[in-house]
Chain A
């Protein structure tokens, strides 16, 4: 099973360029931190409530990316706030992204292709090998949002992540999104880590907007 960080990157993948959607680093890093925490929660390594996050079990999960996150969390007290955990892990966003890409390559979902721009600058592209996994993620999201089915925990997480990063427009047209907005909001809200992540992203966006006129 893919980690949420891998699913998030797949959703952000741009088939044309072989790169990833241009999402501000601050937001993407927070989303990746949220994705790691949500996987650790589902694997019962951590638990959260409206404000606190408790580490229950430091046993490695066997997924390098998640175990890296679990190790980093040890820098915080066993009982901390979800916001502090997100804040700590988002600083490792670039590492999570590289680890998730490496895992997608290892799984045979992406392949790495090197190249040069203007014969000088090295570039990296990650074309999809057959796109089956991406279609599967998109199908899961579409099936759920277009039905009244109760979501399962994994569906809730991927919708919370895709919504927070503005990636649902890669699954739906603008009018479909408008029609599904109430259901998207309802589902995304069901995950408490997702709520904290979304609040943090809104605050970061607002802070960036305030700073821009002076930069």
Chain B
């Protein structure tokens, strides 16, 4: 039986699935229900001087018939009095002593930080998360991402917190920055115990074409919000990877961003996250999704023969290289399984218009609509296999013999890389390109 128990910088929880600081952790009622359903930890909705929220608060990106592939919000930190939240934290800890309750905090002055850290520790919080990520509303007041974008300020405030903190301190980072490792290193320098990322991405999710007001609408006006949901996972994975690979980021990472299934969680962990935090998926489907996540993670570990999460965490990191370290002799080409092809010809038009004209339609106009790969034109880009709507119909098959491994770096070192505009060593030299006028030919 795989052991799902998790430890992030000394904060233990029965599993690596935490609720992120957000609407699902707004109250003790929700956190109790979540723990009862199977969540291992919860980062409480950010505490500070309570605010006043707007109505409405959320916008969404729908794609086809799929709702909320992207989501944004203009909700701020807690709008409830601190004492109510503290009392509820205390109560939750009584019922669930082994679950992780982490208090997310956002205040301004050193005195306020000292005070609120002591308050949540007294209430029984197992850890503290500093919200340096919120990209809307709070940052305009000099908090949230305004801190996360200034490594020096971040380091200073972490220092203030560390002066009094008795429990582990996590710094939550904003992705609204060029290089995520800068604030990550500042957090380390400030003495933090862990980092969590990503917070939401500054965004506008859409505009009402009739009223011309972007979403979400507040009395005929709108503002930029924080973007999250399945669509942001690739951005989050890359930033988690960047921090995990940085030799100066020596503290553990809590992965956040686009996690909805156990696969998403495993991906975050493979790229270096010690545990994961989830919000949007719960806002979409409820706390119950954790059952599938737990069960799926367990099954995956069983299938792979893993017994602890440590065997997953960071396992993909040594597979990630800079582009210049990739083997330029590796060669795959697309192969269509005629038994599975349904003849939609999406691969044809994608390759024809969007790639390398390496797929042709069947010569005879008959009933068979199965396109053919022109192997000599195929650069192995994968595009056709991505647009193909049939499972495992287009596969990429290897064509090189696997004996040569040379990278751009090797090419540079041996002076074989193209250096001039007309360099005949360019990769596209000799590759089939139709003449421009061919585009205007009609059958």
Asked if A pairs with B, the answer is no
| Interface positions of A (Cβ within 8 A of B) | none
